[in-house]
Amino acid sequence: MKVVYLSGGVGGARLLDGIARAMDPAELTAIVNVGDDFEHLGLTICPDIDSVLYTLSGLGDEARGWGLSNETFRALEMVARYRPGESWFQLGDQDLGTHLARRQWLAEGVSLTDVTARLACGLGVAPRIVPASDGPWQTFIETEQDGTLPFQEWLVRRRAVPLVRAVRFEGGGVASDAALAAIDTAELIVIGPSNPYVSIDPILALPGMRERFVSRAVSVPVVAVSPIVAGRAVKGPLAEMIPKLAARPASAAAIAAHYGSWLHGMVVEHGDDAALRSELPMVVVHATQTVMKGREERRALAQHVLALGEQLVSRSGR
Amino acid sequence: MKVVYLSGGVGGARLLDGIARAMDPAELTAIVNVGDDFEHLGLTICPDIDSVLYTLSGLGDEARGWGLSNETFRALEMVARYRPGESWFQLGDQDLGTHLARRQWLAEGVSLTDVTARLACGLGVAPRIVPASDGPWQTFIETEQDGTLPFQEWLVRRRAVPLVRAVRFEGGGVASDAALAAIDTAELIVIGPSNPYVSIDPILALPGMRERFVSRAVSVPVVAVSPIVAGRAVKGPLAEMIPKLAARPASAAAIAAHYGSWLHGMVVEHGDDAALRSELPMVVVHATQTVMKGREERRALAQHVLALGEQLVSRSGR
């Protein structure tokens, strides 16, 4: 079964890792958000792509949730001697190796799609990792009091403190050919437990993407995994964003309602299923343990997600 | 006394460090070769400027002779996973911090002269460190059998194995304003124990430099320190280059003859003075220990150099 997985960073990457272990990874394509990508110190940083690559390669720092394990920050400490204002975004020494290689390929005219494939190859990552766009495509946060901030400035530099009024996406980028081709041939689409507003929406908002996605969702099931557990976000600022952007408390149902009619199935934490079922009876809900602590829990959750997907595929009679 | 010092990398940097300790560093300007500079992994690498900065800051790796002490190479190891061909030039993690800061300033339109001043400030380097040119200005090695190679390709990647037929310099760069201004106001000019062909010549060959230098040398003394000791180079490929480029054995006298009539004084190793005196009687020769092992020996050699300079200044009656 050809599975296409839409992913943001950390949480999305963890479940993707589980799915890659629970099925033939040659049948798995991840379309990864690029809205967080930004230029820093002359390098092109792709936080979500890198989280996916590092997590799937087993080189990621599991405890910290971003970057590489056993990372050092000696280059950045040196930069801080010269340019103290530049060290707000933590770039590890090994991580820099990724950014230098990427930058060099991009400067040689290689597309971000092909650069990402080469990085995945270098790290021994088996599933196809596809940027949603070859860019440019950037997420901006419109804040209540501090104007409009690029996403990483808001999230990392300002620690997500300025209150969100709206999220928008800008840039001349369109959906990448590889992402569209993956959608066109998908037999199951999985939306990872990522932030819908700043991880999944920037994928779907790309020119060319939403029509292809929605039209594919007519014939193949779309299953999401809730990033909200008992009203809280497993990681990141999502739980505070939902009341601002959807004018309702954070819940799995709020996520499903945001995605709308193309969502066929949802995997949620035990206890979050009743409210979702009652609000959105057309969504097939599966409740299980969704918080993943180790690699085995990722694989277990992945098996639940794939089982729900297979159930929906067979129910649709294909 | 305003001292201007012409320098290549390691050897030149070590004596410069001694001179900076033997006099008021506010009176000292180093004009540093940029002919070795090259682009690598999207970064502008300035090997001689960096050797000077790292040596004078006390952060340099004294045993290895290049780069920073306690250096790690984790970024480059990561690059090698992706682009195995790129790791021939050893870029340390801390060193990368310098290159990233430099690249960012250059991208912002700051001149190499001002970038170098900012790097020196960040490292607490007191003497003025001036690039010979804001570039571009590149040294090429014409080899016997392998065509023409950029200097670092020849020295590092090819380990200086291809035999040298000629050295040439190319690029639209001219002598930097700061270098010319330093020459114009110098009261003593010191040529470091650097390779004349690939460290000092690329400075003097810059459009605008030789005339100003030779005209200043009419009124102020020029003192060189021999990079050849008992027929051998203290470091690097110089001893093999002299027979190829000057058709004579390597010696302090060969260095002095190469510099020509503007050279007034030379500091050489004990035992190298007699041949020099007999071949070039107009050069005032001072013999002492020129091989510098530690910082104290640098300072001691610097005192000999400055003493010879002062002797020549007072002899000229100014």
Tell me what the mean pLDDT of segment B144-149 comes to: 95
Chain A residue with the nearest C-alpha to that of B119? A82
Where does the pLDDT of residue B87 fall: very low under 50, low under 70, confident under 90, or very high at 90 and above?
confident
3-state secondary structure of A145: coil
Q: Cβ of A42 and B104 within 8 Å?
A: yes
Instruction: Tell me the nearest-neighbour CA distance from A122 into chain B, angstroms.
Output: 5
Helix axes B112-123, A74-82, angle to 10 degrees: 110
Over its C-alpha atoms, chain B yields an Rg (Å, rounded) of 19
Contacts of residue A74 in chain B, CB cutoff 8 Å?
A: 72, 93-94, 97
Residue A318 has pLDDT above 60, yes or no: no
How many residues comprise chain A?
318
What is the bridge-based pairing of β-strands B38-40 and B43-45?
Answer: antiparallel
Bridging pattern class, strands A188-191 and B128-131: unpaired
Q: Best mutation site among B61, B69, B100 for testing chain A: the one with the most A CBs within 10 Å? A: B100
CA distance A139 to A202: 7
Residue B261 to residue B245: CA distance in whole angstroms = 19
Strand partners, A29: A4, A128
Q: Which residues pair with B138 in a beta bridge?
A: B170
Q: Does the distance separating the beta carbons of A95 and B78 come in below 8 Å?
A: yes
Q: How far apart are CA B58 and CA B110, in angstroms?
A: 26
Measured in angstroms, the CA of B189 and the nearest CA of chain A are apart by 30
Coil, strand, or helix at residue A2? coil
Q: Give residue A60's pLDDT.
A: 94
Residues of A with CB under 8 A from a CB of B: 41-43, 72, 74-83, 86, 93-98, 100-101, 103-105, 107, 118-119, 122-123
CATH 1.10.8.60 fits B3-40+49-59+112-141+170-315, yes or no: no
Q: State pLDDT tens for residues A281-294.
A: 999 999 999 999 88
- From chain B, pick out residues whose CB is under 8 angstroms from the CB of A78: 93-98, 101
Candidate from A75, A76, A81 with C-beta closest to B122: A81
Using CB atoms, which residue from A82, A97, A100 is nearest to B42?
A100
Q: What pLDDT score was predicted for residue A89?
A: 85
- In a 10 Å sphere around its CB, with 0-12 CB exposed, 13-18 middle and 19+ buried, how is residue B23 labelled? middle
Mean pLDDT, chain A, as a whole number?
95
Does residue B65 surpass a pLDDT of 90? no
**Each residue's pLDDT tens digit, B30-49:** 999 999 999 999 999 999 99
Residues of A in contact with B81 (CB under 8 A): 97, 122-123
Domain ranges of chain A: 3-141+170-315
Question: In B, what residues contact A, Cβ < 8 A?
Answer: 41-43, 72, 74-83, 86, 93-98, 100-101, 103-105, 107, 118-119, 122-123
Under the banding of pLDDT at 50, 70 and 90, the label for residue B315 is confident
pLDDT tens track for B213-245? 999 999 999 999 999 999 999 888 999 999 999
Could you give the CA distance from residue B150 to residue B139 in angstroms, rounded to a whole number?
Answer: 6
Please state the ipTM of this predicted complex: 0.90
**Secondary structure (3-state) at A20:** helix
Residue B229: closest CA among B221, B217, B238, B220: B238
Burial B231-256 (b: 16+ CB within 10 A, else e): eebbbbbbbebbeebbeeebbbbbbb
pLDDT at residue B317 in the model: 63
pLDDT at A28 over 90: yes
**Interval B46-57 mean pLDDT:** 97
Report pLDDT digits (tens) over A38-48. 999 999 999 99
Which site among B81, B108, B129 would you substitute to test the A interface, given the most A Cβ atoms closer than 10 Å to its Cβ? B81
Q: Which residues pair with B223 in a beta bridge?
A: B190, B265
In contact, B97 and A81? CB cutoff 8 Å: yes
Find chain B residues with C-beta within 8 A of A75's C-beta: 75, 93-94, 96-97, 100
Q: Which of A44, A53, A96 to mutate to test the interface with B (most CBs of B within 10 A)?
A: A96
> What is the C-alpha to C-alpha distance for residues A130 and A120, in angstroms, rounded to an integer?
10
Q: List, for residues A166-212, the tens digit of each pLDDT value.
A: 999 999 999 999 999 999 999 999 999 999 999 999 999 999 999 99
Q: Which of A248, A255, A160 is nearest to A201 (CA)?
A: A255
* Per-residue DSSP letter, B7: E
- Kindly indicate whether the domain formed by A3-141+170-315 is annotated with CATH number 3.40.50.10680: yes
| Of B215, B300, B293, B290, the residue nearest B255 (C-alpha) | B290
* Tens digits of residue pLDDT in B119-128: 999 999 999 9
Element holding A158 (H helix, E strand) = none
> A42: which chain B residues are within 8 Å (Cβ-Cβ)?
42, 100, 103-104, 107
Band (B293; pLDDT cuts 50, 70, 90)? confident
CA–CA distance, B108 with A39 (Å, rounded to integer)? 13
pLDDT one-digit tens code per residue, A210-263: 999 999 999 999 999 999 999 999 888 999 999 999 999 999 999 999 999 999
Helix axes A209-217, A177-185, angle to 10 degrees: 10
The number of angstroms, rounded, from the C-alpha of B290 to the middle of its chain's C-alpha atoms is 16
Pick from B237, B198, B207, B171: which is nearest to B7 by CA? Answer: B198
Q: What values do phi and psi take at B251, rounded to 5?
A: -165, 165
| Own/partner pairs, B101-109, CB within 8 angstroms, 24+ separation | B101/A41, B101/A78, B101/A79, B101/A82, B101/A83, B101/A86, B102/B43, B102/B44, B102/B46, B103/A41, B103/A42, B103/B42, B103/B43, B103/B44, B104/A41, B104/A42, B104/A83, B104/A86, B105/A83, B106/B44, B107/A42
Neighbours of B113 (CB within 10 A): 18
Put simply, the answer to whether B100 touches A74 (Cβ < 8 Å) is no
- Sign of CA pseudo-dihedral B34, B40, B44, B47: negative
Cβ-in-10-Å burial (0-12, 13-18, 19+) of B45 comes to: buried
Instruction: Write down the H helix ranges in B231-294.
Output: 238-246, 252-259, 273-279
User: Rounded to 5 degrees, what are φ and ψ at B288?
Assistant: -160, -170
Here the tokens at position B155 are 């020295």
Which among B76, B98, B100 is the nearest to A97, CB-wise? B76
- 3-state SS class at B152: helix
Tokens encoding A295: 């690699």
Q: Average pLDDT for residues B284-299, to the nearest whole number?
A: 94
pLDDT one-digit tens code per residue, B252-262: 999 999 999 99
Contact B93 A93 (CB under 8 A): yes
How many residues make up chain B in this entry? 318
**Dist CA B213 CA B205 (whole Å):** 10
CB A129 within 8 A of CB A107: no
With a cut of 60, say whether residue A104 has pLDDT above it.
yes
Q: What is the 3-state secondary structure (H, E, C) of A217-257?
A: HCCCCEEEECCEECCEECCCCHHHHHHHHHCCCCCHHHHHH
Task: List the single residue in A with minimal CA-CA distance to B121.
Answer: A82
Handedness of CA B58, B61, B67, B68 (dihedral sign): negative
Taking alpha carbons only, the member of B235, B112, B222, B102 closest to residue B175 is: B112
Q: What is the pTM of this model?
A: 0.92
Element (H, E) at B44: strand B43-45
